[in-house]
Amino acid sequence: MKKTNCHFEFLSWLKPICSYTFFFACCFVLVNVGCGKKESPLTEIIEIERIEPVTVTPVPYAVTTDTKPPIDINAIAEVQAPETTEKSIPPEKQQAEQSIQEKSLTANDYYNKGYEFFQQGWINESTEAFSLAVSLDPTMKEAFRMLALSYTKSGKTNEAIVNFKKVIELDPGDAKALLELGTLYYKNRMADDAIATFEKYVSLDQGNANVYYNMGCIYGEKNSFDKAIKAYLMALTINPNHVPTYYNIGVAYNMTERFDEAIEAFKKVLSLEPENHDALYNLGFAYNKSGLYNESLEICQRLTELNPANTNVRLLIGDSYNKLGKHEEAKREFDIYKELVFKK
């Protein structure tokens, strides 16, 4: 029995040592790694998809006298293809498919037929017609554009890229084609090509905040934070109240240790969205790294009221207390952190 009691007493004596060891380990991690800087998803760059790319509205090319002009050009993108079955194909579609094969038609005729098919949502037929148009006239820029848009609609991004590149080859100053091409490059995860294309676009049009924002996102993903900041600043000169841009530039400032500027960026986010949890956390992080520990604690207390189980916030609170010399309070927060982690 004595042996057992001695063993129990020995374990009891070890318990505070283990606890303090964990405490100092947390301190070491916070000092050397940063408060949630790597593990937290809160500092990730917002996806480019949050900003819709500007759509290109196709226009008729050399409409002939025997072809009816479109009634509503702006509604093209909203037109849906009619539902058909193999057993029941509308007569007008059968006629359309036959007319594509007419060998006497000119490039302009094929373009106009393709445009009509595109309006009606017959993407396969429009693709075939535009392909015939460019085969007859390889200089027909608008046919290449419409062919690219047809491929885009059918999800064939590689083919769309090839044809937008052909538009730009024929007209290097075509800003709309550059915009569409850059967006397709990004969706294909071709970041370098997307950046190069967007750079050409902004050399022609400096008024599109979305493009600068998207460039900032791509640069951020590549850890080129100085270039990301420059792009975000351009976006904010055009659209000064865009919350994702302020948030992302704040992240970029944190990553480059420009904490004073990060604080201002996240304050701007919170002035527009007071309950933005991500901005609150990153503001608390920037305060902590600037040595403003009391301000960091104030922000973190707000966050714990909103979400008491946020482990990153508990680490940040513990680190701020520790740096203020309040080791008991720091230990309490690290213990809460430990409990939350082990529960998961």
Following DSSP, what letter does each residue of 181-216 receive, concatenated? HHHHHHHTT-HHHHHHHHHHHHHH----HHHHHHHH
What pLDDT is recorded for position 99?
A: 55
| Distance in angstroms (rounded) separating the CA atoms of residues 169 and 275 | 48
Q: What is the pLDDT along the chain (344 residues), one digit of tens a residue?
A: 444 444 333 334 434 444 545 444 544 444 443 433 332 323 333 444 333 333 333 333 333 333 323 323 233 233 333 333 344 555 555 555 555 555 578 999 999 999 999 999 999 999 999 999 999 999 999 999 999 999 999 999 999 999 999 999 999 999 999 999 999 999 999 999 999 999 999 999 999 999 999 999 999 999 999 999 999 999 999 999 999 999 999 999 999 999 999 999 999 999 999 989 999 999 999 999 999 999 999 999 999 998 888 999 999 999 999 999 999 999 999 999 999 888 75
What pLDDT is recorded for position 49?
A: 37
